[in-house]
């Protein structure tokens, strides 16, 4: 295989990464996979997998470059690991294309294979990794993002890859002298926005009851000195001071982000007093991101519900923890790695989701990494949640694009379920998200203290996806398997 072919595949993957925040060149996702589909279709599975692998290196190497903040080795390991899933996609496509390399059916099969790859990498290794789900790149196209309400973000991925496959087919047909087929493919591509607009029907209608909510972004002090305890108390005091300024606002709820309370509010008297005083000053319930001690070696990542009287009345314990971020799997095996000293204690996962009740509205509480997983958030909406609070702390990732990319996940979750999402980030970017994924009002800036206030309206119903669950990845896997088996029996492409 020529070096320029590998370079072309790598460049196509790099191009795809710029469809995501903050580059936000969303239309690139409509064309960037076409080169890989063309290059891989007539090659052996082994050669196709090599093309998919370098495509994945270009894509993930750029998309998650912010992992460098915890070390270049973790970045390299994660990029290589995720690139293998793109290699799997390319290899299976090269086989399926022998039988289904043309037509709308072939385009849908390409989409099904990609959806299957996204699904598998959301499950393995460890607890999975969803960054780079194609729907995350389309948050500024609400007409398309609404399609995720039908069968989750995978619906958007399926459509995008299918369009890329149609472009690939048009290119191959044109190269073969079949200009008529090329023209048909071009027309389908132009018609795609119209087709996408048809998904408007999945958006639920708004309910009659609204909540007036404030997000308090207290920020982190990157130049702070003193003991860890002093820095944690200073962070609580910043959030409390901003909250006290809301005493003349007519609010129903105040939200503090993940890690806004790093000392144990159930054991530390000063922490409890600061938290209680803040709630009493504003006179409404607060949802507060906090850590609670289990013992010297373990802790819990939680969201606390603090009453208007300043008492902790409920709590949710994070169920989906970040490996190598909040705990070290097989710590005894990996403990020799110096950079893991950044995770001195292991968090303990909770057993089940839990919705809070605020002013008669069920609030589904999600903590940071959990918001990256559609099925997890969907389960909480299906169990009754009608507003989702995502409390997060992305301060580790500095001024990178990670914070905006994480907000994009909340926008996808809103559109999937048809519910408003309150995305509260410790150092930004914080925002209110409408049920179609649009930003309501303004978003906060990174590393600024900020208070955002908006009215959010729970829906009177939820989307088909929220009611029926994740059936599309399973169907896509079955279709992909059948297509690969059929392609294996035919040695040459039908195009």
C-alpha to C-alpha distances, 157 to 254, 268, 371, nearest whole angstrom: 35, 47, 18
Reduce the DSSP state of residue 206 to 3 states and report it: strand
CA 337, CA 154: separation in Å to the nearest integer? 36
pTM for the full predicted model: 0.93
pLDDT at 429: 97
pLDDT at 335: 66
Tally of CA atoms within 13 A in the half-sphere of 219 that contains its CB: 16
134 closest CA partner among 366, 327, 391, 412: 412
Which residue pairs from 26-31 have beta carbons closer than 8 angstroms and sit at least 24 positions apart in sequence? 26/137, 26/138, 26/139, 26/140, 26/141, 28/137, 29/134, 29/137, 29/138, 29/160, 30/160, 30/163, 30/164, 30/167, 30/189, 30/192, 31/164, 31/167
Across 477-482, average pLDDT: 97
- Is the pLDDT confidence value at 157 over 50? yes
Ranges of each domain in the chain: 3-203+470-488, 211-462
- The top-level CATH class assigned to 211-462 is alpha beta
CA 463, CA 151: separation in Å to the nearest integer? 9
Across 464-483, average pLDDT: 96
Residue pair 239/278 in contact (Cβ under 8 Å)? The answer is yes
pLDDT at 71: 85
pLDDT at 263: 94
- Is the pLDDT confidence value at 494 over 50? no
The pair of three-digit structure tokens given for residue 337, joined into one six-digit string: 């790695």
Residue pair 214/255 in contact (Cβ under 8 Å)? The answer is yes
Across 283-308, average pLDDT: 95
285 closest CA partner among 265, 258, 312: 312
pLDDT at 208: 74
260 closest CA partner among 319, 215, 325: 215
CA 490, CA 280: separation in Å to the nearest integer? 72
410 closest CA partner among 380, 372, 467: 372
Beta-carbon contacts of residue 201 (< 8 Å; ≥ 6 apart): none
pLDDT digits (tens, 9 = 90+) for 421-472: 999 999 999 999 999 999 999 999 999 999 999 999 999 999 999 999 999 9
Beta bridge partners of 293: 299
pLDDT at 442: 95
Beta-carbon contacts of residue 279 (< 8 Å; ≥ 6 apart): 243, 254, 285, 286, 306, 307, 308, 309, 310
Residue pair 110/165 in contact (Cβ under 8 Å)? The answer is yes
Of the candidate ranges 14-28, 113-127, 181-195, 416-430, the one whose mean pLDDT is the lowest: 181-195
CA 403, CA 157: separation in Å to the nearest integer? 22
User: Locate tokens 């072939």: which residue?
Assistant: 106
pLDDT at 123: 94
Pairing assessment for the beta strands 421-425 and 387-392 based on DSSP bridges: parallel
The pair of three-digit structure tokens given for residue 154, joined into one six-digit string: 């995978």
pLDDT digits (tens, 9 = 90+) for 63-76: 999 999 988 988 99
Answer whether the bond into residue 492 is a cis peptide, omega within 30°. no
Beta bridge partners of 303: 289, 316
C-alpha to C-alpha distances, 105 to 75, 97, 164, 462, 491, nearest whole angstrom: 37, 11, 13, 31, 19
Q: How confident is the model at residue 488 (pLDDT cuts 50, 70, 90)?
A: confident
pLDDT digits (tens, 9 = 90+) for 175-208: 666 665 555 555 555 555 555 555 656 667 777 7
Q: Return the DSSP state at 205.
A: P
CA 428, CA 79: separation in Å to the nearest integer? 25
Residue pair 119/374 in contact (Cβ under 8 Å)? The answer is no
């Amino acid at each position: 295989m020529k070096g320029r072919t590998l370079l072309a595949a790598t460049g196509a993957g790099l191009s795809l990464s710029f469809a995501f925040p903050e580059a936000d060149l969303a239309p690139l996702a409509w064309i960037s996979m076409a080169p890989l589909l063309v290059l891989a279709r007539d090659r052996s599975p082994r050669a196709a997998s090599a093309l998919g692998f370098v495509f994945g290196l270009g894509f993930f190497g750029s998309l998650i470059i912010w992992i460098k903040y915890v070390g270049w080795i973790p970045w390299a390991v994660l990029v290589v690991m995720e690139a293998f899933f793109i290699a799997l996609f390319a290899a299976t496509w090269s086989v399926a294309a022998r039988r289904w390399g043309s037509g709308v059916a072939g385009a849908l099969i390409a989409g099904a294979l990609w959806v299957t790859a996204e699904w598998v990498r959301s499950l393995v290794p460890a607890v999975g990794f969803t960054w780079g789900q194609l729907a995350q790149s389309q948050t500024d196209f609400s007409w398309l993002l609404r399609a995720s309400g039908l069968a989750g973000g995978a619906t958007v991925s399926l459509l995008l890859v299918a369009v890329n496959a149609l472009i690939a087919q048009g290119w191959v047909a044109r190269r073969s002298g079949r200009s008529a087929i090329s023209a048909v493919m071009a027309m389908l591509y132009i018609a795609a926005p119209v087709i996408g607009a048809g998904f408007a029907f999945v958006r639920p209608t708004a309910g009659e009851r609204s909540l007036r909510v404030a997000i308090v972004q207290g920020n982190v002090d990157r130049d702070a000195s003193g003991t860890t305890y002093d820095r944690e108390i200073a962070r609580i005091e910043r959030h409390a001071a901003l909250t006290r300024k809301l005493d003349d606002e007519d609010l129903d709820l105040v939200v503090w982000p993940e890690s806004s309370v790093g000392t144990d509010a159930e054991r530390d008297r000063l922490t409890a007093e600061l938290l209680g005083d803040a709630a009493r000053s504003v006179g409404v319930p607060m949802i507060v991101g906090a850590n609670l001690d289990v013992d010297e070696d373990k802790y819990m990542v939680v969201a606390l519900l603090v009453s208007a009287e300043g008492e902790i009345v409920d709590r949710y314990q994070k169920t989906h923890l970040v490996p190598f971020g909040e705990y070290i799997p097989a710590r005894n095996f990996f403990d020799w790695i110096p950079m893991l000293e950044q995770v001195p204690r292991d968090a303990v996962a909770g057993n089940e989701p839990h919705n809070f009740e605020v002013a008669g509205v069920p609030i589904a509480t999600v903590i940071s990494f959990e918001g990256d997983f559609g099925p997890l958030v969907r389960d909480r909406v299906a169990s009754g949640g009608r507003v989702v609070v995502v409390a997060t702390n992305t301060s580790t990732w500095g001024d990178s694009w990670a914070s905006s990319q994480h907000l994009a996940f909340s926008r996808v979750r809103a559109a999937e379920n048809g519910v408003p999402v309150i995305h509260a980030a410790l150092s930004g970017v914080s925002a209110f998200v409408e049920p179609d994924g649009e930003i309501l009002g303004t978003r906060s800036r990174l590393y600024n203290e900020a208070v955002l206030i908006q009215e959010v309206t729970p829906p009177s119903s939820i989307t088909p996806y929220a009611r029926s669950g994740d059936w599309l990845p399973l169907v896509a896997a079955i279709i992909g398997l059948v297509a690969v088996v059929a392609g294996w029996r035919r040695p040459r492409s039908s195009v």
